[in-house]
Structure 1
């Protein structure tokens, strides 16, 4: 299942709704959740280990966040990639 999250900070209950193998796209202010300096690396790996984590490139650019600031394993989606993911995933749960 595809989940789209746009708020920050992200509540534990929000991530608890994900399952192994789900894709989660952080948009808008949610991109702050994947910055290396905002979260402990070990905690991040444990928290996000079961999901495919993505962020929108446009949201990173708007907030002046570079790819180097993201922790490992985060996929950066341009507009084409984002539209492709939206069309390929069978179900969407938007958590705003």
Structure 2
């Protein structure tokens, strides 16, 4: 188990790191705009995750497809969670959530 996760609780230092990245992105958005910083953030995340994956994965060739599937699914789930939360927080209809179960949407 990663040192970030402890008994299904996320280490508060994780959110400190997240908030630091968001602060940088917000400062950059004032100069470069939201769309450019959004693209730059995605590019940087992909670059860093490729670097990290090659650094920790012993069979990078053999597990590449699984890593790509895992990371793209993880990003889609995180993006859905944040669309749901920020939409609700701001009172904006962001459409149906992909995270809702069939019993939730009935």
Instruction: Tell me the TM-score range normalised by the shorter chain.
Output: under 0.3
**If each structure's helix is expressed as a fraction of its own residues, which one has the higher value?**
2
**If each structure's strand is expressed as a fraction of its own residues, which one has the higher value?**
1
